[in-house]
Structure 1
Amino acid sequence: MRVIEIAGGAGPADALTLSERPEPVARPGQIRIRVRAAGVNRPDLLQRNGLYPPPAGAPDILGLEVAGEVDQIGEGVTRWAVGDRVCALLGGGGYADQVIVDARHALPLPDDLDFVQAAALPETVCTVFANVFEAGSLKAGETLLIHGATSGIGVTAIQMAKAAGARVIATSRGAAKTAAAKDLGADLSLDATAGDMTAAIRDFGGIDVVLDMLGA
C-alpha cells in the first residue's frame, strides 16, 4: 500500500514522500479501513518537524483521523461489515491507503456527509464531547467559556455547545479572531489582548463550564 513518510524522520512539508509498505492485517477487535480522506492536525505538523514523537507502540506514519470504507474485519467484530462508510480516531497511521483501527473507535457516516468532511471530525468532535459534555456535563441553558475559541477544537466546541442549547463565551486574540468566533455562534466574543475580561464575563451572567486548551 502507499503511505506518506517523512524523509529523514523530520523536516518541512517537502520532506513528506510517497512510499510503499505491506498491507496491514486486522487482528481480533480491529477493522481495516480503506482510507479516502485523512485529517490534518497540529500534532501531525509537530511530529513532521520532529517536535512530537509518536507514543510508544503508535505507528510512525502521520494521521490521527480518517474516513473511508471498512475493507477487512478482525475476529470478534460484529458491529461493522465490509463496505461500511466510517470515520475513525487513530493513534497514527492515517496517511496511508489502509489503516488498522480499534473497532470501537470508528463511527458510521450519515449519507449526506462526504469523506473529506468526515475525516475532519473525529479528533475535535471526540475531544469536545469527552471534555465538555462527559467531564464537564454541559447542559442546555448553561454557559460554556472557551479559551482559544478559533482553534480547531474551539470552533468545534462553539458549534457543538450551541447545538446543545448552551450559551457560549469565546475568547481569542485580536479583532479578526474575535469576529470569527462571533460568526460561528458565540453569544459573547472577547478579545484576550484588550485587557481583563472578568467584568464582561460576570456581567454576562458567569459561567458553568470552561474549556481551556491554552493553560492545559
Structure 2
Amino acid sequence: MTVSEVLQSEMTAIAITEPGGPDVLQPQTMALPEPAAGEVLIKVAAAGVNRPDVIQRMGFYPVPPGASPLPGLEVSGTVVALGQGVEPEWMGRKVCALTNGGGYAEFCVAPATQCLSVPDSLTMAEAAALPET
C-alpha cells in the first residue's frame, strides 16, 4: 500500500528553522514521507529527544546524506503503510523505531529492521526512549 492510498498527503512536522535554542523549532506543513523498499511509515505517538537532536538544532551536527533534515532519531507509534518487500504483518503494529531522522512529525519512515514491537507493559512515551537512549 502506498501512502496516497491510505492517508492524507500532508502532515505537520517540527523543523529547525535556523541554528539556535528550542525556539528555532517551528511547526511546518510538509508532504508525508513515502516508505521506500524495506521501510514502514509510522503514525508517531511519541518521539525521543536525544543529544544528537539538540546538537543538530544548535547547528553543530550536520544531517547525514540521505537522512531527513527533521530532528527525531527515535519514535513510537503505529505502522500505517509499508514499503515494498515489508511483510504485511507489520501493518497496524505498535512499534518503537530507530529512524534516520524525521521523528518530530506526525508521520515518520523507518527501516523495518530498526523497528521493535512495543511491549504491553510500556506506554508509547516510554517506548519512544528505547531504540537509542
Q: TM-score, normalised by structure 1?
A: 0.55
| Partner in structure 2 of residue 211 of structure 1 | none
Partner Cα distance (2:107, 2:42) in 1: 5
Alignment partner of 2:40: what SS? Answer: strand
> 17, 23, 29: which one pairs with 2:32?
23
| C-alpha contact (below 8 Å) 2:95/2:117 kept by paired residues | yes
Matched, 1:71 2:85: no
Flag as ranges the 4+ runs of structure 1 deviating above 4 A: none
| Partner in structure 2 of residue 4 of structure 1 | 14
Partner Cα distance (1:66, 1:104) in 2: 14
> 80, 83, 92: which one pairs with 2:92?
83
Q: Which has the higher contact order (CA 8 A, sep 6+)?
A: 2
Report the aligned-residue RMSD: 1.1
| Partner in structure 1 of residue 114 of structure 2 | 105
| C-alpha contact (below 8 Å) 2:82/2:88 kept by paired residues | no
Unaligned runs of 5+ in 1: 125-216
> Aligned letter for 2:80?
D
| C-alpha contact (below 8 Å) 2:43/2:80 kept by paired residues | yes
| Partner in structure 1 of residue 8 of structure 2 | none
Aligned residues: 123
Q: Which has the larger radius of gyration?
A: 1
| C-alpha contact (below 8 Å) 1:73/1:80 kept by paired residues | no
Unaligned runs of 5+ in 2: 1-10
> Aligned letter for 2:49?
V
Matched, 1:115 2:124: yes
| Partner in structure 2 of residue 52 of structure 1 | 61
What's the CA shift string for 1:145-176, capped at 9, x where partnerless? Answer: xxxxxxxxxxxxxxxxxxxxxxxxxxxxxxxx
Post-superposition offset of 1:27: 1.9
Alignment partner of 2:43: what SS? Answer: strand
